[in-house]
Amino acid sequence: MSTAVEVSGLGKTYASRSGKSVRAVDGIDFRVDEGELFSLLGPNGAGKTTTISMISGLVTPSQGSISILGIDLAAHPVAARAQIGIVPQEIALYPRLTARQNLEFFGRIYGMRGDSLRSRIDELLDFVELRDRASDRVETFSGGMKRRVNIAAGLIHSPRILYMDEPTVGVDPQSRRRILDLISHLKEEQGIAIIYTTHLMEEAEELSDRVGIIDHGKLIAVGSLDSLVAMVNEDDRVEIELAIGGDRDSFLRGLRTMNGVSAAELESVGDPESGACRVEVLASGGRMLLPQIVEAAGAEGVPVTSVRLEEPNLESVFLSLTGRALRE
């Protein structure tokens, strides 16, 4: 598989009005292969948009180099830009034009015309499920519909690389679902390289082949989901809720002897009348232990009302790397 985007030592310092300079991106390196979805995950102001702007040729980097399908962006900006499609963070469409007119205009800007442009527009309108609204002005669309046209506009010239900057910001859960499904299709069926920024770890987890965690302009960790999680070396948490009955102490003792379990504690919950309680187990490979735990409870006559498994995720990775939560 060949390299779609390669970035090394990339940095951007903005001169701020007060004379101080803002180091928005601070020397980052990453590589995205063709057909791969790479997420840049980071909180507000981390430098995601600045990074995207630099690798789209919109903002000139203060340092570092960018290569697009082997083309040096600084040396051949026009050729490199032709390979890239962008879905900006804000909705970048002409509100007074219809969906079709918007796509037509951006297609022509990329040098498309005639039948090939027309059929590409139809294809994309089908893809984003807006064929029936094609002739309505974009200003009459809902937020989610605008987002979908925004994505279609970035795809109009069939780019081999697509940048999406927080494409689900400000949409309802249903529309978000639709957009995420669209992106999965794009990746699987069209094989284009996608760089996707988000501050939502669920999105990064669902879509990404690899994730780069960005904070204060620095890429603090890059890798597949599993490798990132493994990196923080944190236990899974299993929460077991018990109703009254059976030998709880013996159940607890049994849990502590299980393979991989580092702790098991009893906590009483809410209503003392019912005698219900909760057991919290910290273990590596918690998922593998679940059958064993349920079996042990049965053997001790302890009635289990619910079992919940919490595996470490990007949230915990971020927390352990920065000491802060991803969401303030």
Partner 1 sequence: MRAFLLITWNDLRQSFTDRTLLILMFAAPLAIATIISLTFGGLANESNPIDHLPVALVNADRGSPIADFGEAFEAILAEPAMIFTGLDARVVADEETALGLLTDDEVAAVVILPQDLSRRLTGPADRGPANVRLVTRPDREVSGQIVSTIASGLLDAFSGSLALSQAAVFGAATAEGVPPAEILGRDAFTQLTESLQDPSSALDQRVIMTQSSLRSGGAGFNPLVVFGATQAIFFALFTANGNATSILEEVRDGTMTRLLASPSSRSTLLAAKLGSTFVMVLFQLVLLFIAFTGIGSLLEGRLVFIWGQSIGRIAWVLLATSAATTTIGGLVAAIAKSPEQSGVIGTVITMYMAVTGGSFGFRLQSPIRLTSAVHWGAEAFEELARGGTDIWTNVLAMSGFALVFGAISLVLFLRRFST
Ligand X SMILES: Nc1ncnc2c1ncn2[C@@H]1O[C@H](COP(=O)(O)OP(=O)(O)OP(=O)(O)O)[C@@H](O)[C@H]1O
Question: Which parts of this chain interact with ligand X (CB under 6 A)?
Answer: 14, 16, 22, 24, 42, 44-50, 89, 199
Task: Map tokens 């928005």 to a residue.
Answer: 24
Residue 325 neighbours by CB distance under 10 Å: 11
Which residues lie below 8 Å from residue 146, measured CB to CB, with a gap of 6+?
91, 93, 138
- Rule CB under 5 A: choose which of 49, 51, 56, 168 binds Mg ion: 49
Given Mg ion, partner 1, ligand X, none, residue 50, with its beta carbon under 5 to 8 Å by kind, binds ligand X
* Residue 105 is a binding residue for partner 1 (CB under 8 A): yes
Q: Shortest approach of partner 1 to residue 145 CB, angstroms?
A: 16
Which of 132, 328 has the CB closer to ligand X? 328
Which of 91, 283 has the CB closer to partner 1? 91
Partners of 84 in beta bridges: 161
* Two structure tokens written together for 245: 């009955």
d(CA 29, CA 270): 50
**Which amino acid would we find at residue 137?**
R
Which of 11, 144 has the CB closer to ligand X? 11
| Contact (CB, 8 A) for 317 and 213 | yes
d(CA 6, CA 306): 47
From residue 252, alpha-carbon distances to 212, 248, 289 in Å are: 40, 6, 14
Restricting to residues 15-44, which ones interact with Mg ion according to CB under 5 A?
none
- Rule CB under 8 A: choose which of 60, 119, 259, 274 binds partner 1: 60
Given Mg ion, ligand X, partner 1, none, residue 199, with its beta carbon under 5 to 8 Å by kind, binds ligand X
* Residue 217 is a binding residue for partner 1 (CB under 8 A): no
Residues that bind partner 1 (CB under 8 A): 14, 56-60, 78-79, 81-82, 84, 86, 88-97, 105-106, 108-111, 153
